[in-house]
Chain A
Amino acid sequence: MRKLGKTSRSDSDQNGPDGSDLGSSSVGVNKNHDSSLKHVMGTANYVDDIAEPRGMLFVATGLSTQAHARIVSLDLDPVKTSKGVVDVIVHDDIPGDPDVSPVYTGDLLLAKDLVSYVGQPLFAVAATTQRLAQQAARKAVVEYEQLEAILTSEAALKQSSFVLPTRTFVMGDADAQMKAAPNKLEGEQMVRGQEHFYLEGQVALVVPLEDGGVHVHASSQHPSEVQKLVASVLGVNLNQVQTEVRRMGGGFGGKESQAAIPGCMAAIFAIRNNRAVKYRMPRHDDMVQTGKRHDFWNRYRCGFDADGRLLGVDMELAGLCGFSADLSEGIVDRAMFHADNAYYLNTARIVGYRCKTNTVSNTAFRGFGGPKGMMAVEAMMEDVALSLGKDPLDVRKANLYAQGRDETPYGQKVEQHILSELIDQLETSADYRARRASIVAFNKAANENASQLLKGISLTPVKFGISFTSTHLNQAGALMHVYTDGSIQINHGGTEMGQGLHTKIAQIVAQTLGIDYSRITVTATRTDKVPNTSPTAASSGTDMNGMAAQDAATQIRDRLTVFIADHFKTEKTNISFANDCINVAGEPHGFADMVQLAYMNRVQLSATGFYKTPEIHFDKQAGKGHPFYYFACGAAVSEVLVDRTTGEYKVTQVDILHDVGDSLNPAIDIGQIEGGFVQGMGWLTTEELLWDDTGRLISNSPANYKIPTAYDVPEKFNVQLFAAQNYKPTIYRSKAVGEPPLMLAISVWCALRDACAASANYKIAPKLNSPATFEQVYWAIDDLQDQLKQKQS
C-alpha cells in the first residue's frame, strides 16, 4: 500500500518549511498539528476567548460544605441582593429534567434536599461579571443536618454500599488451581485516583436562539451528550439545541460526561434571561466539583509454578465511584478487562466492585479503569519474581499470551502476538540485562556500605483493548463539502483536544483523494453537521472518524470518477487521483478544474460518511464475548535512583517501544506516547489526591496537587514506534494511540518498587501504594528494614 512509516519525530523530509506536503503521500508523514501556528501565536480560540456577546452573564455555583447531609434551610437573600446579581436558581427552577446523569440516574444538576459530597452545587448565580458572581455565591446561609458519610472503598465494601451491582469474570476453576499450585502468594494495594488538570478548565458559553433553543459553545469530548442533556434540562427536543466544539484545552476523559454541566447550567440562565451566558469554573471549583480518576483498592491471590507461570488468579478490584454511577459501569468493567494486562492467567476469577461513597462522582480518565487493573497484575508479577528470586522480566515473559495460551478471562482470544518480539527488541535496544546486572551490583554494594542511594529498573508491557465496551458507541459520522475552488471542508463526530485528530483526518482525506493537504480545513465539531455522535474517547477518535471521513471522501471520489469517465468518454479504470491532480488516461488535470467542471455539470459535491466497528460484541451478564476489535501494545523500561534516607528519587532513563500499527503521523503519535507516559508517571508518583476525614478534598489546587514539571522528565527518554501494521483493516492499518501509552508508566512504579526491594536484598515484597511519593517510598523502605531486623532477631 505504501512504504513503512517513519518511526521518529525528527524525520521531516516530507514537510516543507511551512509544514506543507511536498510529496504525494499524506499519511505516514510528520504533519504539524493543524492548529500549531495559532497555538504559538496565541490566536487559537478556546471557549473563553470567543468575543463576548453584549450583556452576557457569568455563572458561579454555591457548593456544599458537607459530605452527606440534609439541607434544613437555604437562605439565598444575601446572594440575590449581592452586587451585580441578575438571577439565582435552585433545583426546583430547572424547567426540564434536573438529572444530568450520562447513563444511569443520580447526578442532579443542583442538589434538591440532600447533599452527597463536599463541593456539590446547591444553587447557581448569574451576575454581570465572573467576579461578582463568585462573590455572591459565597454569601448563602445554609443549615445542614449531618448524616453518616462513607468516605473510603473499605467502608463502602463493609456496608455493601455500591452504585451498581458487582460483576465477576470467571475462567476455569481458579480456586482448585491455586490450591494445587506449588507456590502461592497474596497482596493488596491502594491505587489512588488522579485529577485531570486539563489546563483549560470546564467552560461553556450559551447563546439563546428562537423557539426556546440554544447554541452551546462547549469544551467537551462529547458534544452530542451536551446537546442531549441541555435539551433535557430545558425540556426541549434535541433539534432545538446545537453544540459546537472548536477545540479543548485538554480533555483526558474529564470532559466526557462532566462537560455537560456548565452547558446545562448556562443554558437555563440563557433561556430565563434571554441573554448569552458563560459558565467557566475557576480552577478550585473545577477540582472540587468535577469527577476524577477512581481510587482503586486491589486485592489479589495467585498460584504459580516454579517458572513463575500463573496457574490460578483471584482478584478483587474495588473502584471508589463516589456518590453516583456516572460512567463507573464501564470504568470498573475496563479495570476487569485489563486485570490480565498482557498475561495468560490460565484460570481466574476477577471481581469488580463499584463502591458508593460520599465523595465527588468519579469519571472517565485516559485508560478508563484499565490502568487500575493492570497495576494489580503488575504488582503480582513483581511479587512472584521476588518470591522465586527471578528477574521480573523473565516472569513476565513466561506469562505472555501466546499461541494456545490465548484466552482472556472474558472469553476473547488474543489473535495477534507481537509483545514477545516487541519486548525482545526493547530489551536489546535498552540494554536491559546489562543494566539490571549493574544495578543489582550497585545495590549490593550500597547495602554493604550502608550508602544512601539505591537504583531500580523495570520493563513492563501494555496490551490495551481498543473499542468502546458499550457496543453501540462504536459508530461515527462525517460530512464533507467540496467547494468550487477545490477547497474542502471536512466535519466529523470527533473532537479536538490536542491529540491531533483533526490533523490526521485531513491527512486521511488528502490521501484518499490524492490531493494537497492544504486544500482541507477540518471545521469545528457541531451536532447540527454530524448528529448522534459518540464521545471522543476510548482512543477511538481516529479509528472511527477517520473511517467515516474516508467513506465520505471515497463517495466524492467515486462520483467524480463516474462523471469524468462519462465526460471524457473513457473507462473508470483510466482515472486516478494523485499529486493533487486527477489523471485521465495519463493526462493530469488540476483538481480544482475538475471540481469546477463537475459543478457545472451538476455533480453533487457533498457527502456524508459513516462507519461502525465490525466484529465486536459482549454479554455483560455472562461476562463473555469479543469486546475489543484489536489490542494496542507497547513496553517501557524505566530506571530510577532513590535516596533511601529521604525517599526522594529521580527517574533517570526511560526507553519505550510502542505499537501504533502503521503510523498516520509519527510526530503526533510520538507526542501521544511521551505525553501519555508522563501523565501516567504523574499519576503514579507526585499526584496525590487527598481528602480529610470530613470528606473535603485537601489537594484542591495546583499549589498542593503536583503534576509533573519539565524537571521530572528524564533527559534520556527514548521513544520508538514498533514497525508492524495492524492485522485488522483499520484506517491505513494504523492503531489507536490515545490511552495505551499512559500505562507504560507502570514501569516507573515497578522500578521504584524494585529499588525498595533492593534495600532488603530482593528478599521481601515491598508495600508500596500509589502514588509512590517520596514519603511513600521512604516508608516502604523503612518498613522493609523493620521486617529485616525482625527476621534477623
Chain B
Amino acid sequence: MIVEINQKAMQIDGEPTETVLEFLRRHGLKGTKEGCASGDCGACTVMVADRATGLGRQSDPFKTFNACIAPIGQFAGESIVTVEGLAQGDKLHPAQQSMMDCHGSQCGFCTPGFVMSLAALVENGATDFATDDDSVREQVQLGISGNLCRCTGYKPIVEAGQAALAAAHDSWLYVDASVSKHQSEGVTDVESDVESEVESQVKNEAANQGVYLPESLKEMNAFIMQFPTARLIAGGTDLMLEVTQLYRDIDQMISVNKVAELTELTIEMHEGKEICRIGAAVTYQDIELALGQRSPALVDLLHRLGSTQIRNRGTLGGNFGNGSPIADMPPVFMVLDGVLNIGSSSGAKRASSIEDFYLDYRQTSLAADEYIVSVEFPVQALTDFHRFYKNSKRIEDDISSVLGAFRFEGCPDQISKAAIAFGGMAAMPVKLKEVEAKLEGATLDDELMSQAVQLLSMAMQPMTDVRASAAYRLRMAQTMLERALREFRGEHLPQVTEVRHA
C-alpha cells in the first residue's frame, strides 16, 4: 500500500488502526501535532487532494481533515499534504507568510494546523466569488472552525487568513489529480506507475494491512462475507474514537469511501417526483455543495455540525448508522420524509422509515450483515417551509443539546401537513406524531400554538447531562416549535447565531 505524502510515495506499513497522525510522526514528519486525538482541536490538520467526486461538479481540490482520527490505510493511493509540504525552498506559502506577518502564532503548537486550514482556503480559491470583506471573513472563520487556539484569541489568525486570501489567487500546490506520481526516492518498486498495477497492488497490500478498500457494492459484499467481524468505516470521525480514546484494537476495517454506489448523490425523476438519493458515504461537505442552493437552512445547520475538517470526512450514513440520539441529520431527514435504503452482504435490499430504523439508545434495526446504502427524500420537501434549529453550548463545532427540525405545508393560518422531529430529547431521534396531528387541519392561532407547545412536555422526557439540563432542553424544544410556527405564520424571528457581523 502506497500513500503519497508531500508528493513523495511512502509505504503504508503499520497496524490497521494506525492513524495518519501516527504514521506521519513515526516517519519523522513531526510538524503535525496531537492535541486531543479526538478530532476536536485541529492541531493535526492536514489535507488530501480530492481526486474524484462522482458528483459531476468541480469540488474543492484540497480537503482538510483531522489526521488524528483517520486511519492511514484508507488513504492508499491518495495524496496528502502536510505542513512540511507547503513552503517551496525558502519561499513560504501565503498562509505561512501571513501567519508570520500578522503575529498569528504564540506558543506555536496549534499553528501548523491553522496554517493547513488557511492554506486549503487559498488553494481552493475559497473566496474567488466573495463579494465583500464580510464574506471573506466568514470563509476564514468556517475554514478554521475546527482549529482551537488557546493563546492568541484568534484575531491575528483571522487577519492572517484574510491577508493570505487577498494576496494569493494562483494555486500554489500542484498535485496531479488523475495519477499519483510516486516519483520519489526510496520506493523503487512502484516507480513504474501504470495505474492498474498500482491499483491491484493497493488492493492486495490493503488485504495484508487489514484495511479493505472495495470500489463497488459487489466487492464490499465479498469482503463482508470474508471478514464478518470487520468494521465498516466511512469518515471514521466516530468509529476511530474507539481506537484513540478507548484504545480498542480493530483488526479489520472495510472502508466504504470508494464504493461507487455509496458515494453518489443523485437527483432523478421517479414516478413524477424528483427524488434525491444521497449515498451513505457522501460527506457533509458534498451534501452542502449539492443541496445548499435549495436549502439555506440546511447550510446553516451543516455549518454548525462539526468543523470543516469533520465535514470533509463525516458522512450521512455514519450519522445514522452509529445510532446516536444526538446526531443532527436524523431529525432533519425525518421531517423531509426521508427513507433509508438498506443493503446486505447477502445481496438483499430493504427500505426503512427513519422512525423504524431506531430501536433504542444506540440501537438500530441493522442486522449484522446489513449496512445503509443511501438516504432518499423527495426534493419537493425542500420547497416547503422548513426550519432546522440547533442549541449547543458553543456555536461552532459542538454537539447539539437539542436539535429541532420542522416542515409545514399549508397556508399561514392552517397547516395541512406538519412534520416535527427532535434530537437530544430522548434515547433516540423522535418524530412527534401527536403534535403533528394536533396542528394539522386546525386553525393556527395563538391558542393552538400554545397547546402544541404544551404537548411537547408530555411527549418527551429529556435527560440532564454535561451539555444541558432536562428542564432547559424541554424549554428549548418548546421555544423551537413556537419559533417555527410563528415563522410559518410570517413573522421573522432573528437568531443571534445569524449575527456574524453585528
Q: Does B137 contact A (CB under 8 A)?
A: yes
Q: Does A453 contact B (CB under 8 A)?
A: yes
Contact status B466-A699, CB under 8 Å: yes
Could you say which residues of chain A place their CB within 8 Å of the CB of B494?
452-453
CA distance A779 to B87 in the complex (A): 51
Q: Does B420 contact A (CB under 8 A)?
A: no
Flag the segment in A467-475, A539-547, A578-586, A641-649 that touches B: A641-649
Q: Which residue of A lies closest to B93 (CB)?
A: A40
Contact status B96-A674, CB under 8 Å: no
Contact status B497-A679, CB under 8 Å: no
Contact status B33-A249, CB under 8 Å: yes
Flag the segment in A63-71, A518-526, A567-575, A704-712 that touches B: A704-712
Q: Does B155 contact A (CB under 8 A)?
A: yes
Contact status B391-A774, CB under 8 Å: yes
Interface centre among A30, A642, A703, A712 (most CB of B within 10 A): A703
Contact status A698-B465, CB under 8 Å: yes
Chain A residues numbered 657-715 whose CB sits less than 8 Å from any CB in chain B: 667-668, 671, 674-679, 686, 688, 690, 698-699, 701-704, 706-715
Chain A residues numbered 4-53 whose CB sits less than 8 Å from any CB in chain B: 9, 19, 30, 32-33, 35-46, 48-49
Could you say which residues of chain B place their CB within 8 Å of the CB of A703?
38, 40, 399
Contact status B34-A711, CB under 8 Å: no
Known A40-B115, A710-B145: A702·B152 in contact at CB below 8 Å: no
Chain B residues numbered 31-63 whose CB sits less than 8 Å from any CB in chain A: 31-38, 40-41, 43
Interface centre among B37, B112, B151 (most CB of A within 10 A): B151
CA distance A652 to B501 in the complex (A): 8
Contact status A199-B496, CB under 8 Å: no
Interface residues on A, range: 35 or more
Q: Does A370 contact B (CB under 8 A)?
A: no
Chain A residues numbered 45-85 whose CB sits less than 8 Å from any CB in chain B: 45-46, 48-49
Q: Which residue of A lies closest to B483 (CB)?
A: A645
Contact status B148-A707, CB under 8 Å: yes
- Count of chain A to chain B residue pairs whose CB atoms are closer than 8 Å in the complex: 245
Contact status A41-B83, CB under 8 Å: yes
Contact string against B for A residues 633-658, beta-carbon threshold 8 Å, 1 for contact and 0 otherwise: 00000000111011011101100000
CA distance A671 to B399 in the complex (A): 30
Q: Does B417 contact A (CB under 8 A)?
A: no
Contact status A650-B108, CB under 8 Å: no
Contact status B87-A41, CB under 8 Å: yes
Chain B residues numbered 353-370 whose CB sits less than 8 Å from any CB in chain A: none
How many of B's residues come within 8 Å of A, CB to CB?
A: 80
Q: Does B254 contact A (CB under 8 A)?
A: no
Q: Does B173 contact A (CB under 8 A)?
A: no
Contact string against B for A residues 194-238, beta-carbon threshold 8 Å, 1 for contact and 0 otherwise: 001111110000000000000000000000000000000000000
Known A247-B107, A702-B40: A642·B156 in contact at CB below 8 Å: no
CA distance A699 to B399 in the complex (A): 13
Measured CB to CB, the closest approach of chain B to A498, in angstroms, equals 3
CA distance A49 to B153 in the complex (A): 25
Could you say which residues of chain A place their CB within 8 Å of the CB of B140?
710
Known A648-B496, A686-B393: A198·B150 in contact at CB below 8 Å: yes
Measured CB to CB, the closest approach of chain B to A62, in angstroms, equals 13
CA distance A85 to B295 in the complex (A): 54
Q: Does A248 contact B (CB under 8 A)?
A: yes
Q: Does A283 contact B (CB under 8 A)?
A: yes
Measured CB to CB, the closest approach of chain B to A486, in angstroms, equals 24
CA distance A330 to B423 in the complex (A): 46
Contact status A646-B479, CB under 8 Å: yes
Q: Does A284 contact B (CB under 8 A)?
A: yes
Interface centre among A49, A134, A138, A643 (most CB of B within 10 A): A643
Flag the segment in B200-208, B342-350, B469-477 that touches A: B469-477
8 Å CB contact of B40 from A641, A701, A714, A773: A701
Chain A residues numbered 235-250 whose CB sits less than 8 Å from any CB in chain B: 247-250
8 Å CB contact of B150 from A45, A250, A667: A250
8 Å CB contact of A643 from B115, B154, B495: B495
Q: Which residue of A lies closest to B493 (CB)?
A: A452
Could you say which residues of chain A place their CB within 8 Å of the CB of B38?
283, 701-703
Q: Does B455 contact A (CB under 8 A)?
A: no
Contact string against A for B residues 242-259, beta-carbon threshold 8 Å, 1 for contact and 0 otherwise: 000101000000000000
Q: Does A791 contact B (CB under 8 A)?
A: no
CA distance A66 to B43 in the complex (A): 32
Contact status A32-B141, CB under 8 Å: no
Measured CB to CB, the closest approach of chain B to A5, in angstroms, equals 15
Measured CB to CB, the closest approach of chain A to B462, in angstroms, equals 13
CA distance A135 to B394 in the complex (A): 32
Flag the segment in B98-106, B215-223, B272-280, B329-337 that touches A: B98-106
CA distance A319 to B147 in the complex (A): 32
Measured CB to CB, the closest approach of chain B to A255, in angstroms, equals 11
Known A41-B96, A671-B106, A704-B467: A650·B33 in contact at CB below 8 Å: no
Interface centre among A199, A252, A500 (most CB of B within 10 A): A199
28 chain-A/chain-B pairs, Cβ below 8 angstroms? A19-B100, A32-B100, A32-B103, A33-B105, A35-B105, A40-B83, A40-B92, A40-B97, A40-B105, A41-B92, A44-B108, A45-B30, A199-B33, A200-B33, A247-B108, A498-B105, A498-B108, A642-B496, A677-B153, A679-B150, A702-B41, A702-B148, A703-B40, A704-B399, A706-B394, A710-B144, A716-B502, A773-B393
**Chain A to chain B: the 4 pairs with minimum beta-carbon distance, closest first:** A42-B31, A498-B107, A249-B109, A678-B153
Query: What is the interface of chain B, defined by CB distance below 8 A to chain A?
Result: 30-38, 40-41, 43, 82-84, 87, 92, 95-97, 99-100, 102-103, 105-112, 115, 137, 140-141, 144-145, 147-158, 245, 247, 391, 393-399, 401, 465-469, 472, 475-476, 479, 483, 493-497, 499-502
Query: What is the interface of chain A, defined by CB distance below 8 A to chain B?
Result: 9, 19, 30, 32-33, 35-46, 48-49, 131, 134-135, 138, 196-201, 247-252, 282-284, 452-453, 497-500, 641-643, 645-646, 648-650, 652-653, 667-668, 671, 674-679, 686, 688, 690, 698-699, 701-704, 706-717, 773-775, 778-779, 782
User: Other CB < 8 Å A-B pairs besides A42-B84, A249-B110, A671-B151, 4 of them?
Assistant: A199-B109, A675-B106, A712-B396, A713-B155
